[in-house]
């Protein structure tokens, strides 16, 4: 296999890693703050992609698609958090059932509205031009996805580490009771973070559309990938989600290129190894 | 405790489909019993162990695939195929249990979900082996003691046997030292550890036993439908079993049976009118959580109790 093959696969792996980061960063943030495993996250990713598709069909352009896709999911997620999840307190089984139930509802609704045929989101012509670099040609859109995910990572880092809102989130993650005692309004914080996490999932869906295309079952494929990322990196850790995403992106992409039948199984080897030696994940904190 | 009453009710319920005499009812009853064994196996983990697994369809589906492959493609007899399928699914449960019990609570759930979805993905993509989306068809039911189980009544009676054996086994299990320490590990893991119990070990054994029972029901499932599809390995199947456990009430022996009956009948009745079963399953999940969080059976008991108190 030639060098070009490896280079292009590397770019593919980076692009998939970027998409996984958009998906799992939100999942991880939500879990870190609220201890809710949001099993609807894969469905939000898919719904975002479908919304983006419809916006593209209305020919409002790709950037409107990304914007509206994330916005729609953010609003939907905020409603779910405020009207359902907030009432459940810390009843884990109830949260699992509700988020899972919602993911089934969304998946079936998408099947109803957008039919069962796989559909491709068209990347804008400006971005899909091939990029030439030292004589090798790269698909431009993937470079764009990697750049966007890196930008989001930096913005998220800034938000969490350098702003007042981020300080409140960190305080609430560390010690919820104390944070409340200091006057932090936890319910509002929950809604904001949930909203943000959902928006990222929706955005990931639209950006992923031109690469992965959209089809029924995309949700069921993305959710376990996000779980693997989060288990690898440590639940609740943004850095963990970042590293975990790219590790997973590389393993999955090269697994699929070299051993197509077993790509799915290979994906679980690092997870199992991590669980054996560091059950809390690479950057997770020991609980209990 | 007087167990005569419930046993009598159970016996009447099991005989009722035969009395009805129509093949349709007998087949529905067979499906309920198969689902009940599956739900009962999950109830070991969810109810008695407090470990919510979303990958339980793995063992159900693996055993079913093993039977389908062994009998239709590789020319094994039914007896050998069943033994190999049980052994294989139980071995996988040993591995999955060891991996996922590195964590408890939500991380446990996430790991089981991820592992289960891997198998689902493999079943879809490794089409040379599994037939992919087409699944595997033409699995024949075995002939036991000269009786061909293709006959619905004979198959139903076999399922009654499987269910009763499962219930008897669970009754022993729940009251055994292992069952008690499993509940102890659920409620007071630190105290149990302090008292010298290997909490992980107890949970792992429960996981393996529960995987074995899931495999039993998976084998019955593939013989009933004579067909297997990746769907049976997937999240929706695991979630359906969880719904049965929760609908019937967790950590009760009769709960899974009642839950399975509710879900199977509901699914059948509803499918006659609407094709959107998956969406309805989701809606039922959300409604149950909001209105009867403790499960249908305990919920009804609560209402009945209130009613009785009111009547006095």
**pLDDT tens per residue, range A150-171:** 999 999 999 998 999 999 988 8
Which chain B residue shows the shortest CA-CA distance from A263?
Answer: B122
- Say if residue A8's pLDDT is above 90: no
Supply the pTM of this predicted model.
Answer: 0.88
Query: Model confidence over A48-80: pLDDT tens digits?
Result: 999 999 999 988 889 999 999 999 999 999 999
Average pLDDT, chain B: 84
Nearest CA in chain A to B278: A104
Q: What per-residue confidence (pLDDT) applies to A261?
A: 72
Residues 27 through 56 of chain A touching chain B, CB cutoff 8 Å:
31, 35, 37, 39
What is the average per-residue pLDDT within A178-189? 88
Cβ contact (<8 Å) for A105 and B115?
A: no
Is there a domain that residue A148 lies in? yes
Q: What is the pLDDT of residue A91?
A: 79
Nearest CA to A124 out of A147, A144, A148, A150 is that of A144
Residue A282 lies in a domain: no
- Which tops the pLDDT comparison, B229 or B270? B229
CATH number (domain holding residue A54): 1.10.3470
Domain B24-278 - what CATH class?
mainly alpha
Q: Taking a C-beta distance cutoff of 8 angstroms, is the pair A65, A206 a contact? A: yes
Question: Is A224–B117 a contact, with Cβ atoms under 8 angstroms apart?
Answer: yes
Residue B117 forms contact with A (CB below 8 Å) = yes
Is A286 a domain residue? no
- pLDDT band for position A96 (cuts 50, 70, 90): confident
- CA A3 to chain centroid: 30
pLDDT digits (tens, 9 = 90+) for A121-150: 888 877 777 877 777 778 889 999 999 999
Task: Work out the pLDDT band at B94, boundaries 50, 70, 90.
Answer: very high
- Per-residue pLDDT at A193: 93
State pLDDT tens for residues B37-69. Answer: 999 999 999 888 888 899 999 999 999 999 999
Tokens standing for residue B138 = 């033409």
pLDDT at position B112 over 60:
yes
Kindly state the average pLDDT of the residues B206-224: 94
Residue A79 touches partner B, C-beta closer than 8 Å: no
Q: Residue A264 and residue B122: Cβ atoms within 8 Å?
A: yes
Nearest-by-Cβ selection for B125 from A223, A261, A268: A261
Give residue B293's pLDDT.
64
pLDDT, position A286: 57
Based on the structure, what is the number of domains in chain A?
A: 1
Closest chain A residue by Cα to residue B54:
A96
Q: For the ranges A14-23, A29-38, B200-209, which has the lowest average pLDDT?
A: A29-38
Is B285 part of the contact surface with chain A (CB cutoff 8 Å)?
yes
Which domain, by its residues, includes A75?
3-277
Q: Nearest CB to B234: which of A92, A220, A268? A: A220
Residues contacting B9, CB < 8 A, separation 6+: none
Of B46, B118, B289, the CB nearest to A224: B118
Number of other residues whose CB lies within 10 A of the CB of residue B88: 17
pLDDT tens sequence across B162-174: 999 999 999 999 8
Closest Cα in chain A to B126:
A261
Q: Is A285 a domain residue?
A: no
Q: Label residue B297 by pLDDT band (50, 70, 90).
A: low
- Which of B119-133, B229-243, B259-273, B291-305 is predicted with the least confidence, judged by mean pLDDT? B291-305
| ipTM surpasses 0.85 | no
A99 domain residue, yes or no: yes
Of A105, A221, A276, the CB nearest to B282: A105
Mapping DSSP onto H, E and C, the string for A191-239 reads: HHHHHHHHHHHHHHHHHHHHHHCECCCHHHHHHHHHHHHHHHHCCCCHH
Residue A283 lies in a domain: no
Spatial distance between the Cα atoms of B40 and A54, rounded to a whole number of angstroms: 44
Q: Residue range B216-220: average pLDDT?
A: 94
Residue count of chain A: 288
Residue A287 maps to a domain: no
| pLDDT grade for B1, boundaries at 50, 70 and 90 | very low
* pLDDT (mean) for A218-222: 89
Partner-chain residue, chosen from B111, B117, B235, that has the shortest CB–CB distance to A231: B111
């Amino acid at each position: 296999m030639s060098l070009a093959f490896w280079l292009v696969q590397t770019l593919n792996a980076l692009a998939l890693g970027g998409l996984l980061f958009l998906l799992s960063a939100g999942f991880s943030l939500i879990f870190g703050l609220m201890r809710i495993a949001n099993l609807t996250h894969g469905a939000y990713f898919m719904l975002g992609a479908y919304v983006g598709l419809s916006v593209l069909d209305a020919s409002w352009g790709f950037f409107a698609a990304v914007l509206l896709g994330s916005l729609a999911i953010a609003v939907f997620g905020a409603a779910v958090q405020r009207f359902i999840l907030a009432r459940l307190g810390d009843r884990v089984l109830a949260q699992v059932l509700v988020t899972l139930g919602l993911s089934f509802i969304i998946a079936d609704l998408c099947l109803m509205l957008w039919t069962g045929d796989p559909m491709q989101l068209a990347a804008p012509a400006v971005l899909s031009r091939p990029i030439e670099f030292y004589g090798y040609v790269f698909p431009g859109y993937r470079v764009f996805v990697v750049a966007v995910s890196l930008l989001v990572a930096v913005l998220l880092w800034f938000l969490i580490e350098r702003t007042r809102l981020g300080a409140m989130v960190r305080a609430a993650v560390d010690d919820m009771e104390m944070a409340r005692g200091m006057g932090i309004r936890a319910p509002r914080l929950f809604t904001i973070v949930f909203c943000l996490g959902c928006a990222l999932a929706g955005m990931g869906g639209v950006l992923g559309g031109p690469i992965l295309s959209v089809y029924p079952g995309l949700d069921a494929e993305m959710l376990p990938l996000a779980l693997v990322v989060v288990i690898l990196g440590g639940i609740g850790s943004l850095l963990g989600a970042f590293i975990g995403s790219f590790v997973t992106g590389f393993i999955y992409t090269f697994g699929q290129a070299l051993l197509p039948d077993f790509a799915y199984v290979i994906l679980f080897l690092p997870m199992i190894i991590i669980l054996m030696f560091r059950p809390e994940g690479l950057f997770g904190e020991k609980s209990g | 405790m007087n167990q005569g009453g419930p046993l009598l009710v159970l016996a009447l319920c099991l005989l009722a489909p035969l009395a009805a005499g129509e093949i349709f009812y007998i087949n529905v009853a067979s499906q309920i019993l198969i689902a009940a064994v599956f739900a009962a196996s999950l109830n070991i983990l969810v109810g008695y162990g407090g470990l919510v697994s979303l990958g339980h369809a793995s063992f159900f589906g693996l055993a079913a695939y093993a039977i389908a492959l062994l009998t239709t493609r590789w020319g094994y007899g039914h007896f050998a195929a069943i033994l190999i399928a049980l052994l294989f699914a139980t071995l996988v449960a040993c591995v999955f249990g060891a991996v996922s019990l590195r964590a408890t609570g939500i991380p446990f759930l996430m790991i089981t979900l991820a592992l289960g979805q891997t198998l689902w993905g493999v079943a879809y993509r490794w089409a040379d082996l599994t037939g992919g989306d087409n699944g595997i068809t033409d699995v024949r039911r075995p002939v036991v003691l000269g009786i061909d189980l293709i006959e619905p009544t004979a198959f139903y009676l076999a399922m009654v046997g499987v269910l009763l054996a499962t219930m008897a086994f669970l009754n022993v299990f729940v009251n055994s030292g292992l069952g008690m320490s499993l509940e102890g590990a659920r409620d007071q893991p630190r105290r149990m550890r302090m008292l010298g119990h290997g909490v992980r070990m107890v949970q792992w054994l429960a996981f393996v036993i529960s995987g074995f029972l899931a495999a039993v029901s998976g084998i019955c499932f593939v013989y009933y439908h004579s067909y297997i599809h990746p769907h049976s390995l997937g999240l929706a199947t695991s979630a359906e079993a969880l719904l049965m456990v929760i609908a019937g009430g967790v950590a009760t022996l009769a709960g899974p049976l009642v839950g399975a009956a509710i879900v199977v009948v509901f699914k059948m009745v509803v499918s006659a009118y609407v094709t959107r079963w998956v969406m309805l399953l989701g809606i039922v999940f959300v409604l149950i959580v909001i209105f009867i969080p403790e499960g249908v059976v305990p919920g009804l008991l609560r209402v009945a109790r209130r009613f009785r108190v009111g009547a006095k």
